[in-house]
Chains A and B, each alone.
Chain A
Amino acid sequence: MNIDWPWPWLERNLDDIAEATGEHLFLALLPVLVGLAVSVPLGWAASRWRVARGILVPLAGVLYTIPSLALITLVPLALGTRIIDPLNVQVPLAIYTIALLVRSVSDALAAVPREVTAAATALGYRPVHQFLTVELPLAVPVIVAGLRVAVVSAMSLTAVGALVGIGGLGQLITEGFLRNNGVELVVAIALIVVLALVIDALLLLVGRAVTPWVRAQRGTGASA
């Protein structure tokens, strides 16, 4: 494999790399957001009704074990999408995110102390308001932890999309491989890893910023 001094190649292809990076982020992050939006109500249902939990949690476990390549090739058949439609990657990514988060959300909501929810109800919260301002905020630390795993795996899974003709940094990997261009390969892989780490760190920071009570508790070591 031929690894040249990378600057000339980088300079020539900066626009393409930037475009592929943007595409990669769009392909990877949008499904995670959609998956999160779907997981919260599903997780809520699973935390509330035993039957829902009995169906949703095992189903999520099964979905998560399906190999990504299989899912990516099966989805177009199921959805009837064309072969290079971004949905072919995004739908599987959303499914993985949901599979990962449903259980987290459900467990986190179930872990909210009963006296806290009982007190909220007794003080006069209406159910939706109570869910959004009491239960959900208390589930945020667990949800953020799940989200970090989901984002990192979505960033790497998106690269697999290149195998079915979807853009993003994965395309640079396949291209670099075909053209025997080591620089292109290394740059694409490095970008995926760095971006995943940066987003992971951002999520960690945002998660901490919106849950000041968690740190306050740890700071004193006090317990209830």
Chain B
Amino acid sequence: MIEFRDVTKQYPDGTVAVDGLDLTVEDGKITVFVGPSGCGKTTSLRMINRMIDPTGGSILLDGKDIRESDPPLLRRGIGYVIQHAGLFPHRTVLDNVATVPLLTGAGKRAARARAAELLELVGLPQEVARRYPPQLSGGQQQRVGVARALAADPPVLLMDEPFSAVDPVVRDDLQQQLLRLQSELDKTIVFVTHDIDEAIKIGDRVAVFRVGGRLAQYDTPSALLAKPADDFVSSFVGRDRGYRALGFLTATGVPVAPVATVPAGGEVARAREALVDGWAVVVDEERRPLGWVSAETLSQMDGSVDAEQLVSGGSLFEVDSTAGTAGSLRNALDAALSSPAAVGIAVDGRGAVVGGVTAQTVLAALADARRSGEVPG
């Protein structure tokens, strides 16, 4: 647990970077510090490992004031991932990852063995181990940065805008990987970003900072979207707040209705009879959806249903009836809205069609959830 107690950082020129911060970071959770530039989020992060010392207040790590710790020793017990990865260009990837074990006195062989394990953990192929950092892509470098931070198995991990310098697709990968790693490792992670979407996506708790180093709101992502504390938070959280909040509500309450399906390669005449409201889903042998057909598209096919001439479908909505789980209301609504037939396709864990949902049924389920008090109204 990391506790900020009335922490202030004022620079000699009078600038206040952090102003009276009171905040508790819970163990085993991802806590995100988010805010515009100049809001003190990075300063707050760097005070945890004493890269910056506060001018007022105190910071406690597991109940102990960090000022009592020798900074280098404190830092070896706290993983750190920096923007642009900050890898040592003169050391191989393997030796970069082995850095902290070597600093803490592990032998070279043991440190490298540990480093190799970590490269595997973050999903990097073995052959990158002998390369130098500039020979890697930005996304790979960032993975190495994460591996290096985790090498000594620290309970706390600080991440300073780690994914802001990579392109959106790679960033999405890295975020997914972080969530996967966290589900296995249960680290106490403090993550700094200026991107509210990233904060909402990966945070268990999100601290929104405003310029001048004051904490504006500290809450769960769904509460942040549902009940922003003030105009600043509400404008920072941004547009489509209501729609994005649906991403935190599970769609287990949404009834999945049967949906018309026709096999690819089947007879056009039989497919025509199967249409419901003018549409049917074309499926392969394993009942995976390939696309939609309407009376109009069928009239252009001769004899059999041609998988090359389908109307492409919308996003898919996943339900697992055996486990009783489902995607979010946002997934369900998006599936319905993006479908040419206005019916979102629900698929099971293996990707086979199990039915369809409409926007009306999703909204009805949302209304039910509101009435039962499951959702803050």
Question: Could you list which residues of chain A lie within 8 angstroms of chain B, going by C-beta atoms?
Answer: 113, 115-116, 118-126, 134, 137-138, 211, 213, 216-217, 220, 222-224
B90 within 8 Å of A (CB atoms):
yes
Chain B residues 65 to 115 lying within 8 A of chain A, measured CB to CB, are 72-76, 80, 82-91, 99-100, 103-104
Q: In angstroms, how far is the closest chain A Cβ from the Cβ of B329?
A: 40
Q: Are A115 and B51 in contact (CB under 8 A)?
A: no
B248 at the interface (CB under 8 A from A): no
B133 at the interface (CB under 8 A from A): yes
Nearest Cβ in chain A — how far from B310, in angstroms? 42
B90 with A115: CB separation less than 8 A: no
From A116, A124, A126, A217, B88 is in contact (CB under 8 Å) with A116
* CB pairs A–B below 8 angstroms (20 shown): A115-B83, A115-B84, A115-B86, A116-B88, A119-B88, A121-B51, A122-B49, A123-B76, A124-B72, A124-B75, A124-B100, A124-B103, A124-B104, A213-B89, A213-B90, A213-B132, A216-B131, A216-B135, A222-B136, A224-B133
**Known interface pairs A120-B88, A125-B103; 15 further A-B residue pairs with C-beta atoms within 8 A, sorted by A's residue number:** A115-B84, A116-B86, A118-B86, A119-B82, A119-B85, A121-B75, A123-B75, A123-B76, A124-B103, A126-B72, A134-B88, A216-B131, A216-B132, A217-B132, A224-B133
B133 pairs with A113, CB closer than 8 A: no
> Which A-B residue pairs are the 4 nearest by beta carbons?
A119-B86, A124-B76, A115-B86, A122-B80
Contacts of A115 in B (CB 8 A): 82-86
User: How far is B76's CA from A113's CA once the two chains are assembled, in angstroms?
Assistant: 21
The interface residues of chain B lying within 8 Å CB-to-CB of A125 are 72, 103
CB-defined interface of B37-59 with A at 8 Å, one 1/0 digit per residue?
00000000000010100000000
* Nearest residue, chain B, Cβ from A122: B80
B134 at the A/B interface (Cβ < 8 Å)? yes
**Cα separation A222 to B134 with both chains bound (whole Å):** 6
With A138-B89, A217-B135, A224-B141 given, is the CB distance from A122 to B84 under 8 Å?
no
Please, which residues of chain A bring their CB within 8 A of the CB of B74? 124
Is the C-beta of B330 less than 8 angstroms from some C-beta in chain A?
no
A88 vs B86: C-alpha distance when bound (angstroms):
47
Judge whether A224 and B84 touch: CB under 8 Å: yes
Residues of B within 8 A of A123 (CB): 75-76, 80, 99-100, 103, 148
Question: Whose C-beta in chain A lies nearest to the C-beta of B84?
Answer: A115
Min CB gap A194→B, angstroms:
33
**Chain B 118-144 interface residues, beta-carbon cutoff 8 Å to A:** 131-136, 138, 141
Q: How far is the CA of A116 from the CA of B90 in the complex (A)?
A: 11
The CA of A113 and the CA of B136, in the complex, are separated in Å by 17
Chain B residues positioned under 8 Å from A224 (CB to CB): 84, 89, 133-134, 138, 141
Chain B: which residue is nearest A121 at the CB level?
B51
A216 to B130, CA, bound (A): 11
State how many residues of chain B have any CB contact under 8 Å with chain A.
33
Candidates B87, B90, B132, B134; contact of A119 at CB < 8 Å: B87
Decide: A113 near B131, CB < 8 A? Known: A123-B99, A125-B72. no
Chain B interface residues toward A at CB < 8 A: 49, 51, 72-76, 80, 82-91, 99-100, 103-104, 131-136, 138, 141, 145, 148, 158
A interface: dominant SS: helix
**Chain A contacts for B131, CB-based, 8 A:** 216
Most buried by B among A213, A217, A222: A213
Residue of B nearest to A210 (CB): B90
List A contacts of B145 (CB < 8 A).
119
Contacts of B89 in A (CB 8 A): 113, 116, 138, 213, 217, 224
Give the docked Cα–Cα distance between A134 and B88 (Å).
Answer: 7
Distance of B50 from chain A, by nearest CB (Å): 10
A220 and B89 alpha carbons, distance in the complex (Å): 14
Q: Is the CB of B51 within 8 A of A118?
A: yes
How far does the alpha carbon of A55 sit from the alpha carbon of B86 in the complex, in Å?
31
Residues of A within 8 A of B99 (CB): 123
Q: Does B134 lie within 8 Å of A217, measured CB to CB?
A: yes
The residue of chain A having its C-beta at the shortest distance from the C-beta of B49 within the complex is A122
User: CA A134 – CA B141 in complex, angstroms?
Assistant: 18
- Whether B134 lies near A223 (C-beta < 8 A) is yes
Once bound together, how far apart are the Cα atoms of A118 and B51, in whole Å? Answer: 8
Chain B residue with the shortest CB-CB distance to A119 = B86
> What is the CA–CA distance of A123 and B88 in the complex, to the nearest angstrom?
12
Which residues of B sit under 8 angstroms from A138, Cβ to Cβ?
Answer: 89-90
* Nearest B residue to A117, CB-CB: B86
- Which residue, B133, B135, B145, has most C-beta atoms of chain A within 10 A? B135
- Most chain B CB inside 10 Å of its own CB: which residue of A115, A118, A123, A126: A123
Residues of chain B contacted by A137 (CB below 8 angstroms): 90
Are A122 and B51 in contact, with the CB atoms below 8 A? yes
Q: Which residues of B contact A211 (CB under 8 A)?
A: 90
Closest B residue, CB atoms, query A211 = B90
Nearest residue, chain B, Cβ from A214: B90
Q: A113-B86, A116-B89, A213-B89 given as contacts; is B132 within 8 A of A122 (CB)?
A: no
Q: How far is the CA of A118 from the CA of B131 in the complex (A)?
A: 22
Contact (A124, B86) CB under 8 Å given A119-B80, A220-B135: no
- What is the bound-complex CA distance between A116 and B148, given in angstroms? 13
Report the bound CA distance from A119 to B73 in whole Å: 15
When distances are taken between beta carbons in the complex, the residues of chain B under 8 Å from A134 are 88, 90
Q: Check A122 against B75 for contact (C-beta < 8 Å).
A: yes
